[in-house]
Amino acid sequence: MTIEMNSQLGSIDVSKEVVATIAGGAAIDCYGIVGMASQKQLKDGFSDLIKKENFSRGVVIREDEEDIHIDMYIIVSYGTKISEVAYNVQTKVKYQLEQMLGLTVDSVNVYVQGVRVTNP
């Protein structure tokens, strides 16, 4: 599946995997994020903590008509304010996708799957 963008010069098809990778990379750069989590957390458990090489696994891209919605499953660092971390993820992901691809994202839904204690 691809996301199609039309311009006066023609059309551009961008894979959902590319969009998910950009969104995951933007989320990992935010302060307070330890990693991305699988959306099937109950089935996979915390052993499925995603390494930095695979940004797209905790990201789901949905399309409704012309709207694009992104669901992000994250693990936050212990001691951070979860609401602030989630807000930072939302704004950074929207900004990065707009700057890199010209996509207008309608919503970024953040699901906190866990809290991890990080080593100082």
The four Cα atoms 62, 67, 68, 71 give a dihedral, to 10 degrees, of: -60
Domain count, the chain: 1
Mean pLDDT, the chain, as a whole number? 85
Round to the nearest angstrom and report the end-to-end CA distance of the chain.
42
pLDDT tens digits for 43-71?
444 444 544 457 788 899 998 888 899 99
CATH number at residue 105: 3.30.70.1350
- What are residue 111's DSSP bridge partners? 73
Tell me the residue range of the domain where 92 lies. Answer: 2-116
Mean pLDDT on 73-94:
94
List all residues 6 or more positions away from 17 whose beta carbon is below 8 Å from its beta carbon. Answer: 56
Task: Report which secondary-structure segment, H or E, holds 30.
Answer: none
Mean pLDDT on 78-89:
95
pLDDT over threshold 90, residue 99:
yes
Lowest mean pLDDT among 24-33, 49-58, 94-103, 108-117: 49-58
